[in-house]
Chains A and B, each alone.
Chain A
Amino acid sequence: MESIGVLMTCPMSNYLEEELEKKFKLFKIWKHTDQKDQFLKENSQSIRAIVGNAAVGASSELIDSLPKLEIVSSYSVGLDKIDLNKCKEKGIRVSNTPDVLTDDVADLAIALILSTLRRICESDRYVRNGLWKKGDFKLSTKFTGKSVGIIGLGRIGAAIAERAAAFDCPISYFSRSEKPNTNYKYYSNILDLAANCQILVVACALTEETRHIVNRQVIDALGPKGVVINIGRGPHIDEPELVSALVEGRLGGAGLDVYENEPEVPEELLGLDNVVLLPHVGSGTFETRNAMADLVIGNLEAYFSNKPLLTPVV
């Protein structure tokens, strides 16, 4: 397979890069940003696969510029950066990395909830700035027993629910349809979910329908004691509305791993104590990133040996 051309869209993992280089002919497009069109023209005939991620995927434009493209193997579980319709039209296969990162993302959601409610980062700053000698830190608020509302009860949503349940939190959720075999309370309307929980967690896929699913009305329903946690995609939340709600005290707090325009984070948030801001590290562990890389390679190897894809999407 060493002659098969694989295009990697951006730096995402040294391990993945090394493995791809060993097994295929790897084209690193980010090294040619100045002469991108030239580079694509020269190499498009040999490129049969794209490896993209949550930051840079397989856009319509990129797909069009690669006439020999047969498979997109995404180093992510989210598919919002891939033009799936185009892939379907052209018969291009698509794979992603589900399951291997479910635990990490769910762990991070709980870490964000705890850090936001119990003000862990803020109090760590307090100690580091030498303020403890001047007086005790303020009150935070208990997590155990608070009601958690989850948007999307897929693999990640369910894993979050399982963890929150260990903290005796009553769980409710909103999704396209009610899930059988769960004891959690279902709301068919997201406003009802927001009005009936204290911690709202975004855990669904980003699609046309779910863009800005957390909007002004949802934030208002959640209220000044409510907390929003986003481990989905930035565009799930109407970011300017979120920022003004936090600044004006209409929302109690937020724990965010994703933003509408990464790596740009709204400046107003940087100064707020009631938010926790992480740089999209949901799956950011050595163990999981290696497992994700193995899955990307596994899917490519399976495809090019005419075997079934390990984790097909299209």
Chain B
Amino acid sequence: MAEMQEQELPLVLFIGPPPSTLRTFFPKILQQFKILSPFDYPTTPFHEFLKSHAQEIKVILCLSGSVPINLEILSCVPSLECIVNMGAGVNHIDLSECKRRGVSICNAGTVFSEDVADCAVGLLLDVLRRVSASNQYVRSGLWPLKGEYHLGHKERHESNQESRTLILVFGTPPKQFIETFFPKLLQYQFLNPTDYPNIPLLEFLKTHAQSLSVLLIIGDPEPVTSDILDSLPCLKCIVCTSAGVNHVDLTECKRKGIVVTNAGTVYSEDVADCAVSLLLNVLRKVSASDRYVRSGLWPLKGEYSLGHKVGGKRVGIIGLGSIGSEVAKRIQAFGCSIAYSSRKKKESVSFPYYSSVCDLAANSDILILCCALTDETHHIINKDVLSALGKDGVIVNIGRGALVDEKELVRCLVEGEIGGAGLDVFENEPHVPKELFELDNVVMTPHSAVITPESFSALHELAVANLEAFFSNKPLLSQVDYE
């Protein structure tokens, strides 16, 4: 190929990487233009180089994202007429200065658009369908060991995305949990403050949630205080997924006209089953004797110690709502007598009523806590009640940890002042007082009374039904009384 004399080639100032980089992909530039580059004068500082060599320069060739073509540089190139940028973005060029001096700018136009668009779609598909992550999973040999990789997400059509109603959500179960147990909730779009961990909660609510009318609380996360409610001026409805709503400031909700729904009776059977199982387990020492067998002591030490007959025991139920009633129904079949205490006597119920929990305790062998946690019921099981229950008495708690003065309970159990306890809830979950671990007459479960697929399925239906009812102005299904 015939080359023009070097002196005759037009001079172009190249600002960016060394000119040798042009050789691979842009050889025609080197053939047709003389490149002036600061890399040819490595010992000269850049501005000095410009002042001594670039005064006649009419064209700058540059690359997006490398050296900024700012006011300082532009002022050292007085003859500049045109900047040719080898990129789509021109944010590294001082556009207003160029406009002022009449310097034209060209960029990469649309030559990149297809490749970049392909890349955007590729990233989207990779994220949604977990391509890179599952590729890594296979490469690290985990597939034969750990089995099926977890599910990705179906790509949605744009129109569906836009039409989903936005609801505020507190609580962060893993996405898989929602997909497995609450798929119908995915018809709503979730706004969750934990996706924005760098923004304090109240600030987040004030900037992102001002127009939201519904708050869905999954599980039992941080309390919904009056401060939070004040930051949600359009809030009309709180949908809770627990039976207990002690974490919501009901007084404030009543004042603001915000309705609150809970899990209604969906859990009652499972919780009642759990209460009965804890009772049976403590009286008949099921966990303790299971441990005895597993530790190989049966052949060595012989018969395990005796438990206590369930039939004929006097059971006192504190709180005879949905859960308390289901407990009573089951316990009666074991030949136990039932008495109860609650805020008010229930006229339709024939069990003996005690207005004082202490009196109930004095007349019971077993107390089962089935009431809501409120200011009035906080530490309803205290020193006096435990003392009235006596050294053969058993406490079963499937309500809330704070219904019991836990310190006092532990002391009574350790010192043998009460007979035993079956506990699914504690004052400071997941922390459980270590002293209880040594005791064979205590059975502890990790707040799992409702953790069954059946309860979740029932809750799913109810939560969705409440949301749909709210958004179509129909009566809610499991609205909570403010009292």
Contacts and interface: CB of A to CB of B under 8 A. Distances in A.
Contact of B293 (A114, A119, A139, A279): A279
B452 A139 contact: yes
A166 B443 CA distance: 23
Contacts of A1: none
Contacts of B452: 118, 139-142
A115 B335 contact: no
B436 to A, nearest CB: 8
Interface string B192-231: 0000000000000000000000000000000000000000
A162 interface: yes
Interface centre among B276, B292, B332 (most CB of A within 10 A): B276
Contact of A278 (B290, B309, B429): B290
Contacts of A136: 446, 448, 451
B280 interface: yes
Contact of A121 (B290, B299, B308): B290
A165 interface: yes
Given A137-B446, A166-B329, A285-B284, A118 B269 contact: no
B334 interface: yes
B78 interface: no
A4 interface: no
B304 A144 contact: no
Contacts of B444: 123-124, 127-128
Interface centre among B309, B430, B451 (most CB of A within 10 A): B309
B431 interface: yes
Interface residues of B, number: 56
A143 interface: yes
B417 to A, nearest CB: 20
| Interface size grouping (class) on chain A | 35 or more
A280 B306 CA distance: 11
B293 A110 contact: no
Given A141-B453, A162-B333, A286 B286 contact: no
Contacts of A270: 293-294, 296
B330 interface: yes
B277 A107 contact: no
Interface of A: 11, 103-104, 107-108, 110-112, 114-115, 118-121, 123-128, 132-133, 136-145, 162-163, 165-168, 262-265, 270, 276-281, 284-289
21 contacts: A103-B334, A110-B280, A115-B290, A118-B448, A121-B290, A124-B444, A127-B445, A128-B444, A132-B430, A132-B446, A136-B451, A137-B451, A167-B273, A167-B330, A262-B298, A278-B286, A279-B289, A284-B306, A285-B284, A286-B307, A288-B309
Given A132-B432, A163-B334, 11 more contacts: A108-B280, A110-B276, A114-B277, A115-B290, A121-B281, A137-B445, A142-B454, A167-B273, A168-B269, A279-B289, A279-B298
Interface of B: 269-270, 272-274, 276-278, 280-281, 283-287, 289-294, 296, 298-299, 302-304, 306-312, 329-330, 332-335, 429-432, 437, 443-446, 448, 451-456
